[in-house]
Amino acid sequence: MENLSKESKYIKARERVDQLKKFYANLWTYIIVISVLALINYLTNGFRYAWFLWAAFGWGIGVFFHAIGTFNLNPFFGKSWEERKIKQFMQKEEDNDKWR
């Protein structure tokens, strides 16, 4: 039984590391690509029209939501909310079974 617990902990830790790797890869790609686009923008028109900001803003929204998912930063439907709801539903089922 203890082996199963260690194995499940390892699997969860491995999944967490994979999540973090994907987020950091996304973040680094964002930084590099937006920097290159900013350089191209500067070399072509000297920032008279900063078109690279459209790409930075659009992709930045995606990176923001990726961070929320990766680091469980959702204040409304985060991990603690899920656990509370699961306990609440389990308690409700338990209470219903008492009277049968």
**Domain assignment of residue 99, yes or no:** no
**Looking at the domain assignment, is residue 93 inside a domain?**
no
Q: Does some domain include residue 91?
A: no
Nearest to 30 by CA among 54, 69, 66, 63: 63
Q: How many domains, the chain?
A: 1
Q: State the pTM of this model.
A: 0.73
pLDDT value, residue 99: 63
Instruction: Give the pLDDT confidence of 28-86 residue by residue, as tens digits.
Output: 999 999 999 999 999 999 999 999 999 999 999 999 999 998 998 877 776 777 788 88
Q: Is residue 95 part of a domain?
A: no
68 domain residue, yes or no: yes
Determine, yes or no, domain membership for 57: yes
Residue 94 covered by a domain: no
Q: What angle do CA 85, 86, 88 make, to 5 degrees?
A: 60
Residue 17's domain spans which residues?
2-74
Instruction: Pick the closest to residue 29 from 65, 62, 54, 51 (CA basis).
Output: 62
Q: CA 64, 65, 70: angle at the middle one, nearest 5? A: 100
